[in-house]
Amino acid sequence: MKKALKIFGIILLLLIIGIISIPFLFKGTIQDKVRYLVNEHVNAKVDFANIDISLIRSFPQASVIIDDLSIINYAPFEGDTLAYSKRITLDMSINELFKDASEAINVQKVIIDEANIAIKTDSLGNSNFDIARKTQKPKQEIPATEESGDFTFALEHYEINDSKILFRDDVSKTVLEMVHLNHNGDGAVSGDKVILDTHTDTKASFGLDDTKYLNKNKLQLDAQIELDLKNQKYSFKENKALINRLPLEFTGFVQLFEKHTNVDLSFKTPSSDFKNFLAVIPEVYTKNLDGVQTSGDFSINGFIKGKSDDTYIPKMDIAIVSHNASFKYPDLPKGVKNINIDTQIKNETGLVDDTYIKIGNLTFKIDQDSFAAKGSLRNLTKNIIVDMILKGTLNLQNLNQAYPLDLEEKLNGIVTADVKTHFDMQSLKKEQYQNVKSSGTASISGFTYASKEMPNEIKISKADVSFNPETISLDQIQATTGQSDLLASGTITNLMGFLFAKQDLKGNFDVSSNVFAVSDFMVNEQEIPDETNETNDDGVEDQTMRIPSFLDATLNFNTKKVVYDNLQLLNTKGTVKIKDETAYLQNVTSNIFDGGLAFNGNVSTKSQVPTFDMALDLSQIDIVQSFNSLELIKGLAPIARALTGNLTTQINLNGRLNENLTPVLTSLKGKALAEILNAQVSTTKTPLLSKLNNQLNFVELDKLNLKDIKTNLSFDDGKIHVKPFEFDVEGIKIKAGGEHGFDQSMSYNVTLDLPAKYLGNQVGSLMSQLNDQEANTMTVGLPIGISGNFTNPKINLNTAQAVKQLTQQIVDKQKNKAKDQLVSKGEKALTDLLGGSKKGDSTTTKTEDALKNTAKDILGGFLGKKKDTTKQN
């Protein structure tokens, strides 16, 4: 007994070792098999991370797992991923592991997890799934039992889990996308046929020619499919589908032939309850249908039947019908009644261009408000032709009282419409508005709109629109928000193109206002991110204020008062042209700071960082008001803080704007001409003038009266360059020039041309040698260097150069006097004196030294003492 147990134990141990070791022994065979299939059949780059084999996971079968399988296209879809799967699991008999790489392998079970498949056809008709290699061997030469060494699928079960499939055809402009796709099927053989029981659920989006018909709508399908592989016929037996929550039953078949496909499908709703209609609407908009009271019927019935090839599509007749229906949600005060729907989707010829949608009748009523529409959509695949009649009255407030709309904004107002229109899409795209035939009127009254992004509720008391054959007239609109009011009229040239062809909204409008406050149209302060979040590099949403990209309009405006931040512009007139996310301001005039303002220029938000380019003309504005209100004036002329009076300036500048569309001062480039018409100075209002006033003891800066002073400025890289200019202070000529920065740093050179008469008796015997005329006309230049910044200035008086200049001038005067005296005594005496004798030279040198020392002592004294209010003239 012990021996038998020992033998059994040895056998069991060998079996366990075999189960564990066999996957490692045959792993290379399976990898070779996959690579063989790739090399033989696929014209694409195929890769996988790993292949794992297990005999334990699905014992007694072998399980092969392929991780991170990807198929990447070559040209003309170079680099595109055709297919990717996180994991593929294949279950098969252990015997399949012993087959050669060229032999077929039978697989009983396939599980595909997290696949992503993108099937594309470009505008030239190239398809990215056409990756099969062209074989050189005629098909008839390949034995039927050894077709090419493929995997063969005698499937008992298969699954596709949490996957995504995209189908895009640029030729037909068709896009089908299925996300979160889960599909599974179990197969059974019945004679020559295979029966598959399948279940599918997904969220589907479908678009055709830029129109989206499904948008992540839930789809569910339980289908029994009979596969007649010999005759290529696939029949649908017991099938139930859910579109959102709309149930459908369908039967029929699809049969493939060499050059065409036969389709014969019919479908219907299993019941005619009107609740089926609500079930078509995406669940996010319908909420819970439990407890909803409905009356009337709703049904979808139809068939798709015929052949499909390069010329024909199957004929179809789909009817969507409802008679005198109603619904009411249990927790809402109002209901919708008198609902009638009579719509058909038909094709009677099999030619795709003959497919059309007919809206025979569409009506509903909420309280006393009724709405009706009828018309047709034809030529759907090429140039859609629209014929529609809309008529009715709708109180917007009733909408969310009768239907569970999840709106953050509160809507009110009454809309009335009586409009008839006929147009084709090509005419809209080509802007051939003479082919658009519209007539009728529409109006809205008592409309209110509130949003978290708007600081105040928008109220439209009245708006009237007239539809004409080629244009739409905005007869009048009266609106208010916050402290702002608007009255506008004008024309819209392409409303249909804007609504249906994705064109910019074009028009011309005249706008007037008593008060227009810019803050009424800006997002709340807390909604605006910091400047550090302006970029989108980290995926942060750009919340910079933007000029609407869809506008192509001209606005002629006349506003009595515009309020922007702390500015008030009075009697503002001009024109704004908006196009391509740029506002062009033309001939704008206004009154500001007790003066005039005129400007032309543009503001653009097309790039990520907004920019502007502007020419401003400020005429006779009050310096104090402009300095206290305009950051630009503070940056260009910080010294203006100490001035009272009037200023005229012409400024041409461009630069960047921040998220509030105000200039970034350090980005400014341009030039300016500034003219001070008449200004008084108060030295105590700025450290620079206060400090300068204390050091210049011979002049009272507070007594300055600046008049008709002009200077040119240019600015770039955060610096303001001031071209040297001259002015006069109490008989002293001053020349100043240099630069300063928006950071308040500065570097200026100032030269004072001091009259000698201001020196008076302090010059002593030196000045007494000059007559009155000479003393009154003699001047000396005093250079002053100004650096540091406007709050902590550094002032350097170059007295040494002033002393040197004054001494040299007096010496020259004395030389000239001596020369005149010698000339009067005779030519010989003059020659002896100026001929260069040692005695004469020594005398002259002593005289010059004495004069220099005396002048230095005197000038140093009056520059260091307190102001002398008893100056001599």
Query: Residue 5 has what pLDDT?
Result: 43
Q: Which helix (H) or strand (E) holds 862?
A: helix 838-864
Percent of all residues in the chain with a pLDDT value above 90, rounded to a whole number:
10
Cα(381)–Cα(809) distance, integer angstroms: 97
Tell me what the mean pLDDT of segment 627-641 comes to.
74
Verdict on whether the full-model pTM lies above 0.85? no
Lowest mean pLDDT among 40-49, 243-252, 744-753: 40-49
pLDDT band at 31 (very low <50, low <70, confident <90, very high): low
Query: Residue 752 has what pLDDT?
Result: 81
Would you say residue 812 lies in a domain?
Answer: yes
Would you say residue 28 lies in a domain?
Answer: yes
Query: Residue 758 has what pLDDT?
Result: 59
Would you say residue 412 lies in a domain?
Answer: no
Which has more pLDDT, 770 or 733?
733
Decide: 555 and 574 in contact? Cβ < 8 Å. Answer: no
Query: Residue 18 has what pLDDT?
Result: 42
Lowest mean pLDDT among 585-594, 670-679, 851-860: 851-860
Query: Residue 705 has what pLDDT?
Result: 64
**CA distances for 785 relative to 684, 719, 747, angstroms:** 20, 18, 8
Lowest mean pLDDT among 20-29, 85-94, 326-335, 737-746: 20-29
**Looking up tokens 């009011």, which residue turns up?**
485
Sign of torsion, CA 191 192 193 194? positive
Query: Residue 143 has what pLDDT?
Result: 36
Which has more pLDDT, 218 or 560?
560
Query: Residue 113 has what pLDDT?
Result: 93
pLDDT at 1 over 70: no
Query: Residue 691 has what pLDDT?
Result: 75
Selection from 38-42, 84-88, 291-295, 832-836 with the highest mean pLDDT: 84-88
- Cα first-last separation, the chain: 142
Domain of 870 in residue numbering reads as: 750-782+799-873
Q: Which two tokens stand for residue 691?
A: 């400090």
Q: Which two tokens stand for residue 490?
A: 């004008």
Tell me what the mean pLDDT of segment 193-216 comes to.
81
Which has more pLDDT, 278 or 163?
163
Decide: 191 and 231 in contact? Cβ < 8 Å. Answer: no
pLDDT band at 767 (very low <50, low <70, confident <90, very high): low
Which has more pLDDT, 246 or 166?
166
pLDDT digits (tens, 9 = 90+) for 213-239: 777 888 888 888 888 878 888 888 878
pLDDT at 242 over 50: yes
Selection from 20-34, 269-283, 461-475, 692-706 with the highest mean pLDDT: 461-475
pLDDT at 514 over 90: yes
pLDDT digits (tens, 9 = 90+) for 571-612: 999 998 988 888 898 999 998 888 888 989 898 888 888 888
Cα(827)–Cα(287) distance, integer angstroms: 122
Query: Residue 317 has what pLDDT?
Result: 94
Would you say residue 699 lies in a domain?
Answer: no
pLDDT at 775 over 80: no
Average pLDDT for the chain: 76
Would you say residue 160 lies in a domain?
Answer: yes
Query: Widest CA span of the chain, in angstroms?
Result: 161
Residue type at position 722: V
Cα(756)–Cα(433) distance, integer angstroms: 83
Query: Residue 784 has what pLDDT?
Result: 84
Query: Residue 537 has what pLDDT?
Result: 43
Selection from 334-343, 697-706, 721-730 with the highest mean pLDDT: 334-343
Query: Residue 304 has what pLDDT?
Result: 92
pLDDT at 369 over 60: yes
Query: Residue 516 has what pLDDT?
Result: 85
pLDDT at 336 over 50: yes
Query: Residue 341 has what pLDDT?
Result: 92
Of 241, 240, 232, 301, give the one whose Cα is nearest residue 266.
301
pLDDT digits (tens, 9 = 90+) for 454-508: 667 888 888 888 887 667 888 888 989 888 898 989 888 777 677 666 777 788 8
Lowest mean pLDDT among 47-56, 92-101, 178-187, 347-356: 92-101
pLDDT band at 16 (very low <50, low <70, confident <90, very high): very low
Query: Residue 559 has what pLDDT?
Result: 92
What is the number of structural domains in the chain? Answer: 2
Would you say residue 847 lies in a domain?
Answer: yes
E-strand ranges in 565-660 read 567-579, 582-592, 595-604, 611-622, 643-656
Query: Residue 599 has what pLDDT?
Result: 87
Residues 6+ apart with CB under 8 A from 35: none
pLDDT at 646 over 90: no
pLDDT at 128 over 60: yes
Query: Residue 153 has what pLDDT?
Result: 47
Query: Residue 162 has what pLDDT?
Result: 93
Tell me what the mean pLDDT of segment 661-677 comes to.
81
Cα(87)–Cα(115) distance, integer angstroms: 8
pLDDT band at 46 (very low <50, low <70, confident <90, very high): confident
Would you say residue 436 lies in a domain?
Answer: no
**Looking up tokens 């600015």, which residue turns up?**
715
Cα(161)–Cα(155) distance, integer angstroms: 17
Query: Residue 11 has what pLDDT?
Result: 40
Tell me what the mean pLDDT of segment 3-24 comes to.
43
Lowest mean pLDDT among 204-213, 378-387, 461-470: 204-213
Strand, helix or coil for residue 191 = coil
Cα(845)–Cα(644) distance, integer angstroms: 52
